[in-house]
Structure 1
Amino acid sequence: MKTEPQRRILVVDDEAGIREALAGILADEGFVSLTAENGEKGLAVLEIEPVDLVLLDIWMPGVDGMEILARLRDWYPRLPVIMISGHGTIETAVQATRMGAYDFIEKPLSYDKVILAINNALRLSRLEDENFIFRQQIKQHVLTGESEPIRQLRRHIERVAPTDAWVLIRGEHGTGKELVAQTIHRLSPAASQPMVELNCAAIPEELIESELFGHEKGSFTGAATAKRGKFDLADGGLLFLDEIGDMSLNTQAKILRILQEQKFERVGGAKTIEVDVRVLAATNKNLEEEIEKGNFRADLFYRLNVVPIFVPPLRQRREDIGLLVADFTAEFKHKGLGGKEFTPEAVAVMREYGWPGNVRELRNFVERTLIMSPEDIIKAGMVRQLLGLSESVDGAAAEAGVPTDLAAFLKFNYKDAKRSFEREYLRMCLAANNGNISQTAEQIGLERSHLHKKVKMLELEPE
């Protein structure tokens, strides 16, 4: 892995002399300089090149620096910008600062002051990045459980995480493969950088190359601007390829070359880009069987499978269910579903259930039960009813001849019951289609756009 990459500074100024002088000073200080003669060209550079800081002139022909600053705040909110101007006023400086500029420097430039401002801005930006990543990690779940399978999984992660080795994470749907990748990232030398993720099953075949490698402006219909790909964004860090088994053979061949050479060209481009990327991949498929069927390349499998990690299904670690239920209950308490808890007998019922959807299904069930239960103490009978395991009938309902399942739901608000059923129905249909929105929409007779809105409204994550 790379140690500390050189910081890249973009200088946007219409005066060629200023651009050349700043480029020379920056090179002397160990920075990589990029230049643009106006704001539009500066934005074009940002679309295809990684940049750590922008030196932006205010008064330029065409679109002025203040307008460019506004666009930068919208499109690159965490990119530090230092404004420079030969006709600055206090009002302009105050306005630029309020719009998010880190500093304001007047011409003629004091190069010592410029370098000092750059170093201070980069230092602050680094701290903000670290805080951002730290907040992300706090929000993430940990690997909950004390069973032997989960203890062994932790040991494997602790051994491989500090290395540069590539990892293939295998396991059924809903076992927590993404969580394993996040844990490896958190314990890796690249923990200070965000992990770049791509779900290979969620990207249409015609767009996956663009997502992985990026594209140049005009390279295909709809490519109105240039775009950096996931490999480019992950340079010097980690790239997590989820559901790697869903890639086409054509894409597999291209990704294999990149993995071997660590270099690629953007779609529609001729420039070769070199990267240093550690790859974590995950799949729920039996890749050995896929190789025999001709659906997966053996050479790609052996390239990815440097260190295999298996994530056990929930049925192989039932003793962890109580801890998981407690974690999920505490999580949903902070989302407005507090004040309810499961009895030990209710948890015991959950331990006996098969959970074909694994931890993800358990989490969804806990959320649904907390919503649907009219009581603060959730007992075993309620859990059995919602799991479809109960053979008992509510007394009053029995006398009225009401079926058991309906008797359970008569206790619930109609709106909540409808939403819960709709959410669970769509979740199961999406799972059956490996999260593919288009296939699911066709199968159940909905417009794709309508299903997409439903998925967002019900806060579903396609499995």
Structure 2
Amino acid sequence: MKTILIIDDEESIRESLMGILQDEGFRTLSAESGEQGLGVLREEDPDLILLDIWMPGIDGIETLRKIREITPDQLVIMMSGHGTIETAVKATKLGAYDFIEKPLSLEKLLLSVQNALTIGQLVEENRTLKARIAKEHEMIGNGEAIRLLKEQISIAAPTSGWVLITGENGTGKELVARSIHAHSQRANKPFVEVNCAAIPEELIESELFGHEKGSFTGATALRKGKFDLAHEGTLFLDEIGDMSLKTQAKVLRILQEKKFERVGGSRTIEVDVRVIAATNKDLEAEIVKGNFREDLYYRLNVLPFEVPPLRERKEDIPRLVDHFLQFFCGKESREIKTLTPEAMAALVNYSWPGNVRELKNIVERLVIMVPDQLISEKHLPAALIPKKNETAKSGVTPALEAGTFREAKEEFEKEYLLQKLEENDWNISRTAEVIEIERSNLHRKIKSFGIELKK
């Protein structure tokens, strides 16, 4: 049941409105002055306020101003028997939803009330949706690499500098772009994403710049492009390394001149966008090969960000796993599942060539396919389980089986620490002294490699 607060100094109007609104299924509250109405507002949470303008004490305009201080999003409909255009404009500027003249038309009043409550519901749904999207795009992790990245974002986001984000596929480059936008001065403006690799060459100009009606076969109506849609907001050019040289030249021109023409059009359109670009390619190497324009690279690379691969931030894997478990269990309306220590260790020790995206997909699969509440090693894909027996038989260590030098180094460190810990009866202080590293550093490495200490 929606609650409506009526603030009017005339008792007959208050009683009449309360009777009508109650008959329509609303819960009503009333106050005979602005001061009393503000008191009710501090104790209650009305969905809508009907506010008279001419009242003794503080008038309706001043009451509206104070309402905005208490609850900025409160829906208010103003009422007045002596309304002027100037008063109506002032009330509207202060955020009143509607202005109704007395004597009140019952039909008009109920229509305005229903429309206002519909708007209120849409605003609340929008707020909830934005909060859910923000939660889905949250950057998870407290490790050194991700902590430094968050620190860089907090410094760069409030500025107007263009950003170039580099990193392997699946590391979360879009999350970084969205985080920069969310903490920028353009946060309340559009965030428009373009996947440059997914759009055919013949359509990318129309996608970016829009087209006029009749500009080509199939152009049956005017269509705004991504630059147009992102006006005053942020344009995220994902996989910009896959953009053709021809399109790169046009994008560079827009970035320089801040204006463009639609495909098939002659009218110049001015645009104000902050560009964030991302790529999994080495653009400097692409420049040498002749695949990427050097001038565009330096235009975009004002604020460079590099997103670390998951194998370099293994200390964040347990938190990421817990986050994805809660997210997908909630999405599938299931009780929160947990992992055994052995299963979590297997996830931590895996190299994750697909990075966070691969981890997310694996956790979603486990939530859907594993009927048990406790997920153990037996439930994990075979690729994630260390092949201990095969290694023992062949005499080949995991370090020699690693695909890259970094992975081999990590495997060697892990084997070395396991051996030294075992030799020293799993005593961390004694082991740190023997291998001559700081005890705190040894603790970090044990946690990073997911090594379980034996008692």
Residue of structure 1 in register with 2:222 after alignment = 226
Distance 1:370 1:111 in 2: 60
Distance between the aligned counterparts of 1:293 and 1:316, measured in 2?
Answer: 29
Residues 238-261 of structure 1: CA distance to partner in whole angstroms, max 9, x if unpaired?
Answer: 111111111100000000000011
Cα distance in 1 for partners of 2:294, 2:247 equals 14
User: Quick one: which of 197, 204, 208 aligns to 2:204?
Assistant: 208
Distance of 1:214 and 1:157 partners within structure 2: 31
- Structure 2 stretches of 5 or more lacking a match? 1-76, 78-83, 99-115, 391-455
> In the alignment, which residue of structure 1 is the partner of 2:137?
141
TM-score, normalising length from structure 2?
A: 0.58
- Offset from partner CA, 1:3-47 (integer Å, 9 cap, x none): xxxxxxxxxxxxxxxxxxxxxxxxxxxxxxxxxxxxxxxxxxxxx
Equivalent AA in structure 2 for residue 248 of structure 1:
S
1:241 counterpart SS class: strand
Write the letter of the residue equivalent to 1:209: E
Task: Indicate if the aligned counterparts of 2:277 and 2:300 stay in contact, CA closer than 8 A.
Answer: yes
For residues 246-257 of structure 1, the aligned pairs below 5 Å read 246-257=242-253
Question: Structure 1 residues 211, 308: closer, same or farther in 2, change over 3 A?
Answer: same
Match of 1:304 among 300, 303, 320: 300
TM-score, with length taken from structure 1: 0.57
Q: Give CA deviations for 1:201-236 in whole Å, capped at 9, x if unaligned.
A: 111111111111111001011111001111111111
Q: Distance in 2 between matches of 1:134 and 1:121?
A: 24
Distance 1:146 1:248 in 2: 38
Q: How far apart are 1:275 and its partner, in Å?
A: 1.1
Aligned length: 287
**Rg comparison, structure with higher value:** 2
1:56 alignment counterpart: none
Distance 1:333 1:136, change over 3 A: closer
1:295 matched to 2:261? The reply is no
| Partner Cα separation in structure 2 for residue 230 and residue 260 of structure 1 | 17
Q: Secondary structure of the equivalent of 1:198? A: strand
**Identity %, equivalent residues:** 57
Q: Secondary structure at the match of 1:172?
A: coil
Cα deviation, residue 343, structure 1: 1.3
Instruction: Please say if 1:379 is aligned against 2:376.
Output: yes
Question: Where does 1:175-324 land on structure 2 (aligned, <5 Å)?
Answer: 175-324=171-320
- Structure 2 match to 1:348: 345
Q: Please tell me the root mean square deviation across aligned C-alpha atoms, in Å.
A: 3.0
Mapped partners of 1:197, 1:156: distance in 2: 22
Residue 217 of structure 1 contacts residue 225 of structure 1 at CA under 8 Å; is this kept in 2? yes
Are the structure 2 counterparts of residues 202 and 313 from structure 1 closer, same or farther at C-alpha, using a change threshold of 3 Å?
same
CA separation of 1:122 and 1:248: change in aligned 2, threshold 3 A = farther
Aligned amino acid, residue 246 of structure 2: N
Gaps of 5+ in 1: 1-102, 104-109, 394-463
Q: Does 1:331 align with 2:337?
A: no
- For 1:377, the aligned partner's letter is L
* Runs of 4+ that moved beyond 6 A: 121-127
Contact 1:196 1:234 in 2 (8 A): yes
One-letter identity of the residue aligned with 1:170: T
**Counterparts of 1:210 and 1:113, CA distance in 2:** 46
Using the alignment, how far apart are the partners of 1:382 and 1:161 within structure 2? 41
Quick one: which amino acid aligns to residue 373 of structure 2?
D
SS in 1 for 2:260: strand
Relative to structure 1, the CA distance from residue 157 to residue 245 in structure 2 (aligned partners, 3 Å threshold; closer, same or farther) is same
